[in-house]
């Protein structure tokens, strides 16, 4: 039996930031944005590609002596990290903030009661992430509604097949250089850089 081995898997690449590193100041410092994008996000891209290389190699060796569970754990972590960071950068913009508009505003009002109530719920989600992780607002196509999740790491406690609309990184690398251990102040400041047009666009694409 001849088993085809795909020789070269599609690789992930780091998307450039669409605004200058200091554009979100004073809310998020240039130093944080530079390290976060150029070092941390890049590490997830490289990690995802390294896991793909390992899978390619595993197939060539017919999985002999291969820890596929470990490789796939790495893949899940790094791909999720890559995707969440890619969304995070576009979910923010200089002079952002304010309120959601259009279809997103309608759905927030319908599913959370009001924009202010959504903001409270999302902030609570973010504040209460245990250790490292994310707060996300996601769309669930099955129930046709918006849900919030606290994600541990990049890939634990994810609602399967939900679509991220708005994501907030609460790993310490996202705020510690500027806010120290005061995650709450970082979250409050972050609302001033939210790009609601981008979030709205993500919702209308689904």
Binding site for Mn ion (CB under 5 A): 169, 171
Residue pair 100/108 in contact (Cβ under 8 Å)? The answer is yes
Q: Which is nearer to Mn ion, 36 or 202 (CB)?
A: 36
Instruction: Return the residue nearest Mn ion (CB atom).
Output: 169
CA angle at 19 for the pair 14 and 25, rounded to the nearest 5°: 115
Closer to Mn ion by Cβ: residue 34 or 145 = 34
CB 40, min distance to Mn ion, A: 5
Q: How many residues does the chain have?
A: 206
Separation of alpha carbons 17 and 20, rounded Å: 7
What is the closest distance, in whole angstroms, from the C-beta atom of residue 171 to Mn ion in the complex?
5
* Of 171 and 191, CB closest to Mn ion: 171
Beta carbon of residue 113, minimum distance to Mn ion (angstroms, whole number): 30
Q: Provide the minimum distance between the beta carbon of 95 and Mn ion in the complex, in angstroms, as a whole number.
A: 22
Q: Which is nearer to Mn ion, 85 or 93 (CB)?
A: 85
């Amino acid at each position: 039996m001849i088993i085809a081995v795909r020789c070269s898997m599609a690789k992930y690449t780091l998307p450039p930031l669409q605004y200058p590193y200091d554009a979100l100041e004073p809310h998020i410092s240039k130093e944080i944005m530079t390290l976060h994008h150029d070092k941390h996000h890049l590490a997830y891209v490289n990690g995802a590609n390294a896991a793909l290389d390992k899978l390619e190699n595993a197939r060539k060796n017919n999985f002999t002596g291969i820890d596929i569970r470990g490789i796939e754990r790495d893949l899940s972590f790094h791909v999720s990290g890559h995707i969440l960071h890619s969304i995070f950068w576009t979910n923010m913009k200089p002079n952002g903030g304010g309120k959601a508009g259009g279809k997103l505003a309608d759905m927030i009002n319908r599913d959370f009661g009001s924009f202010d109530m959504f903001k409270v719920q999302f902030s609570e989600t973010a504040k209460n992430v245990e250790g490292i992780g994310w707060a996300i607002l996601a769309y669930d196509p099955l129930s046709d509604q918006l849900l919030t999740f606290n994600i541990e790491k990049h890939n634990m406690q994810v609602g399967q097949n939900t679509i991220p609309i708005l994501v907030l990184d609460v790993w310490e690398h996202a705020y510690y250089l500027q806010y120290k251990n005061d995650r709450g102040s970082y979250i409050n400041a972050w609302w001033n850089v939210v790009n609601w047009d981008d979030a709205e666009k993500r919702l209308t694409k689904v």
